[in-house]
């Protein structure tokens, strides 16, 4: 499904699949399992790059590293509300980050605005997010 969605759009590029052992390590390091749809996507393509170089979905290792940074960096923690309920998965190439709000009834993909600390729902699920991002034609499609 994921590779078909990327090919159908003609706007992004897929990567080779993630190593299941690497995904397990990411989950262990984060302290929680990846959402099932993200896990399935990463097993098909270890990230999706958009037409302008943005990371629509980051590779598994980048998901781990960026989430570690957002959750533990003292400077970031002093500037923004906590990120514990967010699982960052991609970016727009200009500073805004996309995250799954995985610890709430408000499932879906949210954009985190790095200037205002706003968190706004942009898609009801990962499939809708990937589809919208690939079909957008620009880096601020979610506004």
Least confident of 25-29, 117-121, 135-139: 135-139
- How many angstroms separate the CA atoms of 126 and 89, rounded? 10
Q: Which two tokens stand for residue 65?
A: 């590293």
- Span 6-36, pLDDT tens digits: 777 776 787 899 999 999 999 999 999 999 9
Give residue 103's pLDDT: 63
Query: Are 18 and 42 spatial neighbours (Cβ–Cβ below 8 Å)?
Result: yes
In terms of pLDDT, which residue wins out, 81 or 51? Answer: 81
Confidence (pTM)? 0.90
Sketch the domain layout of the chain as residue ranges: 2-134
Report the percentage of the chain scoring pLDDT > 70.
94
What is the SS3 assignment for 112?
strand
In 30-117, DSSP assigns E strands to 48-49, 55-57, 86-91, 97-101, 109-112
* CATH class, 2-134 region: alpha beta
Residue 114: pLDDT above 70?
A: yes
Give residue 135's pLDDT: 84
Residue 106: pLDDT above 90?
A: no
């Amino acid at each position: 499904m994921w590779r078909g969605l990327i090919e159908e759009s003609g706007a992004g590029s897929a990567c080779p699949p993630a190593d299941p052992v690497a995904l397990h390590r990411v989950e262990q390091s984060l302290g929680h399992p990846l959402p099932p749809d993200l896990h399935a996507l990463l097993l098909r393509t270890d990230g999706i790059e958009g037409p302008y170089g943005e990371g629509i979905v980051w590779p598994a290792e980048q998901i781990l590293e960026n989430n570690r940074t957002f959750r533990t960096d003292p400077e970031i923690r002093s500037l923004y509300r906590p990120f514990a309920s967010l699982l960052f998965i991609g970016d727009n190439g200009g500073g805004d980050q996309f995250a799954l709000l995985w610890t709430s009834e408000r499932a879906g993909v949210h954009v985190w605005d790095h200037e205002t600390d706003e968190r706004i729902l942009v898609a009801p699920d990962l499939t809708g997010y990937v589809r919208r991002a690939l079909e957008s034609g620009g880096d601020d499609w979610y506004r």
